[in-house]
Amino acid sequence: MFDSRILAAALIIVTLTGCHEKAPPTAQARPVRTVTVERGAEGETVSLTGQVQAKDHVSLAFRLDGRMIERPVHVGDVLTAGQVVARLDPQIQQSTLRSAQGNLADAEARLTEARLTFERHEKLLKTGATSRDRYDAAEQAMRSAQAQVDSAQAQVRIAEEQLGYTTLSADAPGQVTAVGAEPGEVVRAGQMIAELARQGGRDAVFDAPEGLIKTEGNPRLCRGDSSGLTF
């Protein structure tokens, strides 16, 4: 009985003693310095002026000499592929074509006659009603007439091409940036009639000092497009 009282008193004392113990101190936050890393341009910023131009420029010209009677396009016009740019006076080429066609008709008529003669001698030779020499001559005449037809056909094709050259057309879609002759002028073969900036890519052209693009032992790269030039 006595021991149990002593034990209970000891437990009370220990409990009271624990209630008066202090909690361990809390660690305080330490300040930290941070640095944000960003990507930036090296060196000084340089501004340049320039022009945005088409990558492909083509000068449209006739293949023949002649008097230009029509040029329906002007600077700034947007053309489609095959659109007419200008025309030459086609009278000479038309006359040449008519003459070539007439020669072809005559050659074809002679070939028809020569072929009929040869076929007649071929039948007569089988029956012995004609000589071998006459048969050979008829065959030779037919071959000669055929050669004349072939030559006349070639002349017609050439005349047709020449007549086609009196019309100048755009070879691709694009915009007219310059013109070189006016209607009524006599132009030479190869003379620029219109300059066409073809549709497609664009180049940014800048007048940059050579030392800015590349320095001795320290090359600097540059990239250019329609939005600008970046070093």
Tens-place pLDDT, residues 113-167: 999 999 999 999 999 999 999 999 999 999 999 999 999 999 999 999 999 999 9
Q: Is the pLDDT of residue 83 over 70?
A: yes
Note the pLDDT of residue 41: 58
Residues whose CB falls within 8 Å of the CB of residue 164, separated by 6 or more in sequence, listed in order: none
Highest mean pLDDT among 34-48, 102-116, 123-137: 102-116
Q: Is the pLDDT of residue 6 over 60?
A: no
Highest mean pLDDT among 23-37, 55-69, 131-145: 131-145
Which of 4-13, 33-42, 117-126, 220-229 is predicted with the least confidence, judged by mean pLDDT?
Answer: 220-229
Q: Is the pLDDT of residue 171 over 50?
A: yes
Note the pLDDT of residue 53: 56
Domains and CATH numbers, the chain: 54-88+167-210+221-231 (2.40.50.100), 90-165 (1.10.287.470)
Note the pLDDT of residue 57: 84
Note the pLDDT of residue 36: 75
Q: What percent of the chain has pLDDT over 90?
A: 60
Note the pLDDT of residue 50: 60
Confidence band of 88 (pLDDT split at 50, 70, 90)? very high
From the number of C-beta atoms within 10 Å of its C-beta (0-12, 13-18, 19+), residue 62 rates as buried
Q: What is the mean pLDDT of the chain?
A: 81
Confidence band of 199 (pLDDT split at 50, 70, 90)? confident
- Three-state secondary structure readout of the chain: CHHHHHHHHHHHHHHHHHHCCCCCCCCCCCCCCCCCCCCCCCCCCCCCCEEEEECCEEEEECCCCEEEEECCCCCCCEECCCCEEEEECCHHHHHHHHHHHHHHHHHHHHHHHHHHHHHHHHHHHHHCCCCHHHHHHHHHHHHHHHHHHHHHHHHHHHHHHHHHCCEEECCCCEEEEEECCCCCCEECCCCEEEEEEECCCEEEEECCCHHHHEECCEECCCEEECCEEEC
Residues whose CB falls within 8 Å of the CB of residue 203, separated by 6 or more in sequence, listed in order: 52, 53, 54, 55, 224, 225
* CA atoms 143, 144, 147, 148: torsion sign: negative
Note the pLDDT of residue 231: 41
Note the pLDDT of residue 108: 98
Between 18 and 59, the more confident residue is 59
